[in-house]
Structure 1
Amino acid sequence: MSGLFRTGAGSDLASLTTSAVRDGDHYVVNGQKIWTTWAQWADWIFCLVRTHKGERPQQGISFLLIDMRTPGITVRPIRTLDGEAEFNEVFFNDVRVPVENLIGTEGEGWGYGKYLLEYERFSMSGAARSKRILGELKEDAARLGVANDPLLQDRMTRIEIQRLALEHMELKLLSQSEAGENPGPEASKLKIRGTEIAQALAQLRLDIWGSQVLPYSEAFLEGEADAENPAAAGAAAAWLNLRKLTIWGGSNEIQRMILAKQVLGLR
């Protein structure tokens, strides 16, 4: 199942142009979607498509479940800086989707998408993952003999403080979720802080390994990195790959706009 579902709009969900026109017992879908994670392996994809135009751009968006084996679907992998083809462009050319594959009510996809994005952003916090990675970096620093560097210790301490704050915020929202509350705009806080910490850790890993990553960067991009020093190769690859974090799921700039409007009440 492909995880990302916005078609032809990027972060500006309301501007999507991929269309689905009703034709008897089917919708005929035309358009494209970019940055679809692992689409080359997916059997099905959820898509937000425009079934009609409304007075506001948020109106007329519907949620379809589409079989990736349907004629008219083309998947084009996008090779990223770390050498992986994690993302894809998906093209829809007169793709016929049974009406029974409509999720919920026609024209209500905007609400469904916003609800799902709250949980996607919530999941991007990664507090536990950041805790594990920071522990690994401390071990790397000790093994490389730089653990006592005062500047390195200062950076690790600052990240640890931010990570602890993130963990407490995540636990608070998890507690609210168990009580039946949705994450709401608060999920944007987790997305911002979690992705920024992940990028800071990737930079820290790169700096700890220093010049040792240089012989492995090109090899890793070509898929030829060996086990001679996999940690150094991984440091280079992680840094390149994680540049995406502050963009996907809605860029962090957009998350700040959400918080300004929905939490602080600014206009």
Structure 2
Amino acid sequence: MTRIDRTFAALREKGKKAFVAYIMAGDPDRQTSMQIMRGLPRAGVDIIELGIPFTDPMADGPTIQLAGQRALEAGQTLNKTLEMVAEFRKDDNTTPVVLMGYYNPIYNHGVDRFLEDARAAGVDGLIVVDLPPEEDEELCIPAQKAGLNFIRLATPTTDDCRLPKVLQNTSGFVYYVSITGITGAAAARAEDVAPEVARIKSQTDIPVVVGFGIRTPDTAREIASVADGAVVGSAIVKQVEEGRSVEEILEFVRSLAEGAHRA
């Protein structure tokens, strides 16, 4: 079992849902980003998604795009992102860390070298938004062989014909995108999400967590109540953009985690 598998198993035993938090590595700078990352588990985060900054983030809205730009301008790289995970692991060998981003930086790093480096750093899973199932031989299957979960996105436009293809090599959890469009674009609604989560769960035993459009503790609770967990990204990153202190950001994260855990 991976750290991700163990986390969901432990939450199931407690009758709790997962809270997953996304931050951009190196935003607004490496030191602050590291402080936030270290504080996330204490704030109630079950799984950390760590964004890899990239110059052309096609699926991301303005908030995440600007975060990536800030990180790149501060000198963040893929290597430095892996170094952050390794540093985090010195104090925390339990909380799963998932790298989320695009294939280009990984391809430039070299797939075999990247997987070796990611594994050594303590990465548990990957979400690579621009690699469809038809490209599984590129990264998904090698990642699974290296012991990393490969987490796939399902969306409102993933119909019954497409869904089995999306699920076939997915592990760790399925990330259901609650809305069509880019990150931070609209609010998630539990009544819309519930039937889609049920449809996915009818075809897989893998946990289904829901992200996009979750900005408040109440929404986190409502969404987690119809899924196996909730993901918040843009709302947390917005706190960084607004210049909030690390303590203020972690207090906001704590409120979201408490919402999801009440589901």
Structure 1 and Structure 2 fold alike (TM over 0.5)? no
TM-score by length of 2: 0.22
TM-score by length of 1: 0.22
- Which structure would you say has the larger Rg? 1
Higher relative contact order (CA 8 A, sep 6+): 2
